[in-house]
Each structure stands twice: as C-alpha cells, then as structure tokens.
Homo-oligomer: A and B are copies of this chain.
Amino acid sequence: MPKTASNGGLRRSDAGGSAGGSVGIVAPQRAAFDAPLLLQCQQELPNFELVYETYGELNAERSNAVLICHALSGDHHAAGYHTPEDAKPGWWDACIGPGKPIDTARFFVVAPNNLGGCGGSTGPRCVNPATGEPWGAAFPTVTVKDWVRTQAMLADRLGIDRFAAAVGGSLGGMQALQWAIDQPERVANAVVIAAAPKLSAQNIAFNEIARQAIQSDPDFHDGRYAQANAIPRKGLVLARMIGHVTYLSDERMGVKFGRELKSGDIEAAQDVTFQVESYLRYQGASFSERFDANTYLLMTRALDYFDPALAFDGDLVKALASAKARFLVLSFTSDWRFSPARSDEIVDALIAAGKDVVSATVEAPNGHDSFLLPNDRYFDLLGGYLNAVAAKL
C-alpha cells in the first residue's frame, strides 16, 4: 500500500486565491527500477529512479488515482509545501488540494518528476554508472512515449492498474494524450490542457533559440559543465526569458507592466530600465539557480519530437484509434504558443476517431500560463469534469 504524504492539518491560502484547502506539508518519495530500460532512441539506461509526490488516499478499489504530468520546467512538487517555512507551494497548488478542481478529498494524486528531469529523477545531473561521471549532455534522448512507459512502471509499483485520469497542461497535456494512445486500458480519462498534437515551426523555432542560448554559453562546456564546475547561467537566463515572454500574452504583459519604468528618464534618453526588463532579468536569474541546462535541452527536444501521428502516416485519427479514454480538452483564448486552434486539431481528430470528447476554450488573459492560474470557468470545467468522474468511481 503506497504511503500518502502527511497532510499535517496545514491550511494556507495560496497566492492564486482559488477556493479549497492545501494538501499541507508533503514529502517527495522515490521509486527505484533496477532492470535496464530500453528507450525509444534505442539507448539503454541500466536502471533509473523516479521521484514523485502523492496527495490524498488511494481508495480500497485502487480506482481513484490521478496522474499529474508536468511541463517543461515543472517537477514532482505539484502541490503543498515541503516545510512550513516555504514561501511558495507546488507549481499547480491552485488546482490540487481538498475542494480544489483536482480534489484530493476524492482522488489519490500521483505527481512524478519525469525521467531526464532535474527534480531528483534520473537525469543529466545523475552519475552515469558506466563512466562514474555525471551524464550531462550524454544523457539519452527521452521522448513523451518514454515518459508514459516509465510513468506506467511507477503505477505498477504503486498498485495502480488504471488511472481515473491522466492530467496535464502544455507538454503535460501531450503526455496525457500519449497515455490514451499507448496505455488505453490503463487510463479512463485524459485531460489535455493547452496542448497541441505536435509543435509548429514557430514553436520549434523558439525552442531552438533557447537551446542555442544555452549551448553558446561558454559555461556550457558541451554539456559537461558539472565536470567543469560551472553553470551556464547566462544561457539559462535567456532561455527562461524567451519562455516567459512567449508564455504570457501581449495583453497580460501590458496590464502587468505597460511601459512603467524601473529607473531612468525616457525624455532624457538616460539609463532607462523598464519594469518588464527588470522582471525578466530577475525571473531568468532565479530560474538559472534551480534548473538544469541539460534537462532544459532534453525537455525542449521531447516537445519538438512529439508527434503521435507520425507512426500512423501522419494521421492523428488513426493514431487515436487505440484510445479508450474519455477526453477533456481545454484551451485558452490568449494562448498564442498553443492556441485554441491547436487544441481544435486534437478535438477534431478525436471526433473523427469516434471518441468521447468534451472541450472548451476558456476566456483567459494570461497566455499559455493560463493553464497554471486560477480562473473561474477553467476551474469549474476541470473540477466539474473530474467530480463527475469521481462520482462514478
């Protein structure tokens, strides 16, 4: 029987201001898999570990588990706090907790850090047993299919035959979609938020710029920066800045910053720093302290390569034929990196494949980041859908 994280009775209101309580103090757990794992790229990992958190209680029927799939810069710490002193909760705390859209009073929530991540799961920061050195850039390419397979192995370990739902936004939504295709018997519902069936040239281009920023930083050392006792901070700062600007909407940036000055005098054309510049520099610097550059490269590659239709003559309808899940597909009006039109492609293919799908485009001002932020209709839709799922368990 898997342990659930201690709830500790903590109730903190989160910054997002959504209704519902906190899962409280949580502790990461660890699952080690000792058999070799053959990845899609045909490279083999001799063994691997996944770090994960869980919230809520697995019911006696083991039927109420919900898998949370994280996006590019996410990890296993999706909700709650690690210590009472933590300034910030997990990345999707607004959405996960008792009485929240992903209701931990009803569901047993499993949030792993993906293989190749830098939150503690086996990834580029870990030592390659064959060399005794950190993997760095030599860590094998990992795909969304690999994540689904390793998440299924974690489910085995936790005694979960079938998830009530696989849920994710952005790259996480792509995992939820791949779950429905690759593990049709093991996922009852796929909740695909702010995603796309594959990246556009523009999406790939932004990822490539971020990669170039990291790889051209002299502190990158061809990915062997750990051995060189360096961190490619400047590259990571740039990558994060690009992500930040493109994940927010123009409108939202306007409301948040406008042309407000941090310092200087525009009329005198002297020493001007706009608030938005200062904010981006701060966000970038903060990210560069916590995130691993090789993982960033690996995650953006997984995004670029994601294309479940490719093995089916480019036909997404055929790719979805195997799916047995019901689908909830959500998108946001101001999201220009994964626009509602991209979600429509998924919905249209699901309809043509004869699948059960409900979908909505939510009016939201925060661009791609909308999937992370409280929004009444979004939370009503997500919570309503999942509560209906819970009621039938």
Interface residues of A (CB under 8 A from B): 39-42, 141-143, 198-202, 204-206, 208-209, 212-213, 216-218, 234, 237-238, 241-242, 244-245, 248, 250, 253-254, 256-259, 266-270, 272, 274, 276-277, 280-281, 284, 301, 304-305, 307, 310-311, 336
Contacts and interface: CB of A to CB of B under 8 A. Distances in A.
B259 A307 contact: yes
Contact of A307 (B218, B253, B266, B268): B266
Contacts of A216: 217, 234, 237-238
Given A41-B270, A268-B41, A305-B269, A256 B208 contact: no
Nearest to A234: B216
A253 B336 CA distance: 14
Given A198-B259, A201-B258, A269 B208 contact: no
A266 B310 contact: yes
B202 A245 contact: yes
A364 B277 CA distance: 31
A388 B242 CA distance: 45
Pick the most buried of A42, A250, A281: most chain B CB atoms within 10 A of its CB: A250
A201 B269 contact: no
B257 A201 contact: yes
A268 B40 CA distance: 6
B242 A209 contact: yes
Contact of A245 (B206, B237, B238): B206
Contacts of A209: 238, 241-242, 245, 280
Given A218-B218, A238-B212, A242-B242, A201 B270 contact: no
B238 A238 contact: yes
A258 B205 CA distance: 11
B202 A250 contact: yes
A212 B198 contact: no
Which of A143, A217, A305: most chain B CB closer than 10 A? A305
A327 to B, nearest CB: 23
A301 B307 CA distance: 40
A201 B276 contact: yes
Contacts of A142: 269
B40 A269 contact: yes
A216 B285 CA distance: 13
A237 B253 contact: no
Nearest to A279: B205
A382 to B, nearest CB: 27
A269 B307 contact: no
Please name the 7 residue pairs, one residue from A and one from B, whose CB atoms are nearest each other, closest first.
A201-B253, A41-B269, A216-B234, A201-B257, A202-B250, A141-B269, A208-B277
A250 to B, nearest CB: 4
Nearest to A245: B205
Contact of A281 (B212, B245, B253): B212
A65 to B, nearest CB: 28
Given A201-B253, A204-B259, A204-B274, A267 B212 contact: no
A247 to B, nearest CB: 11
